Amino acid sequence: MYMTQTVDEIFEQICKIIAPFNKKNIPITKDSLFSVDLELDSLNVMDILSEIEDEFDITVPLNMLPDMETVGQFAETVKQLLSEQ
Amino acid sequence: MTFDLFEKFDPILNDYNSLPKGAGNPFTVSMEQVLSPTTAIINGRETILAGTNNYMGMTFNQECMDAAQEALLTLGTGTTGSRMLNGTYNSHKKLEDTLREFYDTKHAIVFSTGYQANLGIIATLAGPKDYVVIDADSHASIYDGCAMGNATVVRFKHNDAHNLDKKLARIRKNDPQAGILVVLEGVYSMLGDQAPLKELTRISKAHNAFVLVDEAHSIGVFGETGRGVAQEQGVEDQIDFIVGTFSKSVGTIGGYCVSNNPKFEVLRLVCRPYIFTASLPPSVVASATKALELIANSNLRAKLLSNSRRLNNGLSQAGFEMGTTGESPIAAIIIAEQNTAITFWGEMIKEGVYVNLALPPATPKKLNLMRCSLSAAHSLEQIDFMLEKFILVGTKLGLLQDMPKRVLA
């Protein structure tokens, strides 16, 4: 059901998943860096990744994490993985 | 930009530098003398060791020490070489025979550490087109094995069978022929909880995945003959690889993997952490062999678990927030504030009790823990002494304000 979604729509969806981790309610943009801007450590990011997998019904290998520093890069990756299905 | 290779560690260094200096620093303890499996001289005073993973108290077992001494005097201090070249003595083969017998498996490979066993087995088995599926709370050696290999790594929620099923189904949907290795631990070391192996292995097998169980904290502790949680839960026939360590119940150092897979021995030719390091020294091999024989026939498991229940129950009744339940040899209390946890540790060592201060990211759910690993060698008096000091320090730091008065009295 997410196959036809745009990157923007996926980004919005991801923001909802990040919300419970974003304890200080820092505004999220596509350029937000998980580590610096959102103050999330690698374990948080792995937990978010796991929820994204379940939400979009895709496999996002942990190996891709080093290349995903921003929320926007996450959304792009999800879009890419959805289109490969 | 910076040319300084160390700059990235500045935040960690700053945290470290804010720790208490001297005797109150939890990461600079050294043992001046070790008196027994459960006591040492630290900062000039006799201290009870309550966080050593020395579950069976094997480090001072007379038979193990005799075997080690004889090997030392007859075979020398080290092998100076790889298992593949000059580093395999008859005693290494005998240790592997002992492991095969202990686990009733066809194959056994000994590594120089438990860390290398996980690193080697995971990184080697799961190649570029394969998948490794790991529990979110896996030990660092499992994460590092994943990082070293070239497989696709997927993580499922801790001990959550339903979540594992979802992750595996998704992999299978896209890649029906992929090789999949599911990695589990018998006991998770920080909170001492067991994996529900029956369910997790059933799901893994339903998706045609291989299953590896790390029994590092459960060998010697669970199962009728001390093989671990797989034996305890009656699922050994569903498990393809068991990894473990000699550095806890076995009382020395080294790692191993056992399996019935007919092609298992090929790992000796392809597993880099097995090949490109020196093999275990003969004295270590001798004491590990002896300890395995003793563990299989010992009744120390009952004593160990009763010790753990005594401390867990005592801490819980005193009003501490518990991280553990007493189902394993681990007893851990949760302390909300990290600084309080550090102070707690410092007060305990002053009172003559060494426990483990466990902080995130080494802990699940970002918990700050004061963690004890019990030993069958602890006496009831030692456990009651630990408990008394926990309550003393907990009261001093205001962690027990809501506790019932009768426990204080």
The verdict on a CB contact (< 8 Å) between A43 and B361 is yes
All residues of chain B having their beta carbon less than 8 Å from the beta carbon of residue A59 are 152, 154, 167, 170-171, 174
> Can you read off the two tokens belonging to residue B324?
């553990």
Identify the burial level of B197 via C-beta atoms within 10 angstroms of its C-beta, where 0-12 means exposed, 13-18 middle and 19 or more buried.
Answer: buried
Range A7-83 classified under CATH 3.40.30.10: no
The verdict on a CB contact (< 8 Å) between A53 and B152 is no
**pLDDT category, A43, cuts 50, 70, 90?**
confident
Of B255, B270, B296, which residue sits at a domain end? Answer: B296
Q: Residue B55: what pLDDT?
A: 97
The verdict on a CB contact (< 8 Å) between B154 and A61 is yes
- Claim to verify: residue B50 and residue B72 sit in the same structural domain: no
- Claim to verify: residue B119 and residue B161 sit in the same structural domain: yes
- Claim to verify: residue B214 and residue B348 sit in the same structural domain: no
Of B259, B280, B296, which residue sits at a domain end? Answer: B296
Residue partners of B381: CB distance under 8 A and separation at least 6: none
Residue B1 lies in a domain: no
CATH number at B234 reads 3.40.640.10
Nearest CA to CA, how far is A49 from chain B (Å)? 9
Q: Residue A4: what pLDDT?
A: 80
Q: Residue B1: what pLDDT?
A: 62
Is it the case that residue A42 has pLDDT exceeding 90?
no
Nearest residue to B104 (alpha-carbon basis) of B205, B211, B291, B236: B236
- Claim to verify: residue B256 and residue B307 sit in the same structural domain: no
Q: Residue B299: what pLDDT?
A: 84
- Claim to verify: residue B98 and residue B237 sit in the same structural domain: yes
Q: List residues in chain B touching A: CB distance below 8 A.
A: 136, 146, 152-157, 163, 166-167, 170-171, 174, 360-361, 366
Residue partners of B134: CB distance under 8 A and separation at least 6: B142, B143, B146, B153, B154, B155, B156, B182, B183
Average pLDDT, chain A: 91
Could you give the ipTM of this predicted complex?
0.88
Q: Residue B402: what pLDDT?
A: 63
Contact B83, B275 (CB under 8 A): yes
Q: Determine which of B143, B150, B174, B183 to mutate to test the interface with A (most A C-beta atoms within 10 Å).
A: B174
Is A41 within 8 Å of chain B by CB?
Answer: yes
- Claim to verify: residue B145 and residue B14 sit in the same structural domain: no
Q: Which amino acid is at B5?
A: L
Range of the domain at B83: 61-296
- Claim to verify: residue B264 and residue B339 sit in the same structural domain: no
Q: Residue B196: what pLDDT?
A: 98
Domain segments of chain A as ranges: 7-83
Residue partners of B326: CB distance under 8 A and separation at least 6: B305, B308, B309, B311, B312, B313
Residue B2 lies in a domain: no
Higher pLDDT, B80 or A2: B80
Nearest residue to B132 (alpha-carbon basis) of B148, B160, B155: B155
Is A19 within 8 Å of chain B by CB?
Answer: no
Strand locations in chain A, DSSP E?
A: none
Is A61 within 8 Å of chain B by CB?
Answer: yes
Question: For chain B, which ranges sit under pLDDT 50?
Answer: 405-409
For A81, the closest chain B residue by CA position comes to B174
- Claim to verify: residue B269 and residue B322 sit in the same structural domain: no
Residue B395 lies in a domain: yes
Contact B260, B90 (CB under 8 A): no
pLDDT tens, B168-200? 999 999 999 999 999 999 999 999 999 999 999
pLDDT tens, A11-21? 999 999 999 99
Q: Residue A84: what pLDDT?
A: 84
Nearest residue to A68 (alpha-carbon basis) of A26, A18, A33, A29: A33
Q: Residue B403: what pLDDT?
A: 53
CATH number at B11 reads 3.90.1150.10
Q: Residue B401: what pLDDT?
A: 65
Instruction: State the Cα–Cα distance between residues B170 and B179, nearest whole angstrom.
Output: 14
Nearest CA to CA, how far is B237 from chain A (Å)? 29
- Claim to verify: residue B211 and residue B80 sit in the same structural domain: yes
Structural domain count, chain B: 2
Contact B15, B9 (CB under 8 A): no
Select the residue of B152, B157, B174 nearest A50 (Cβ to Cβ). B157
Of B272, B296, B320, which residue sits at a domain end? Answer: B296
- Claim to verify: residue B68 and residue B209 sit in the same structural domain: yes
**Biggest CA pair distance of chain B:** 66
Instruction: State the Cα–Cα distance between residues B258 and B106, nearest whole angstrom.
Output: 8
**Rounded to the nearest 5°, which phi and psi values hold at B355?**
-120, 175
- Claim to verify: residue B292 and residue B311 sit in the same structural domain: no
Instruction: State the Cα–Cα distance between residues B264 and A28, nearest whole angstrom.
Output: 49
Q: Determine which of A36, A57, A62 to mutate to test the interface with B (most B C-beta atoms within 10 Å).
A: A62
Is A35 within 8 Å of chain B by CB?
Answer: no
All residues of chain B having their beta carbon less than 8 Å from the beta carbon of residue A50 are 136, 155-157, 163
- Claim to verify: residue B289 and residue B327 sit in the same structural domain: no
Instruction: Tell me the pTM.
Output: 0.94
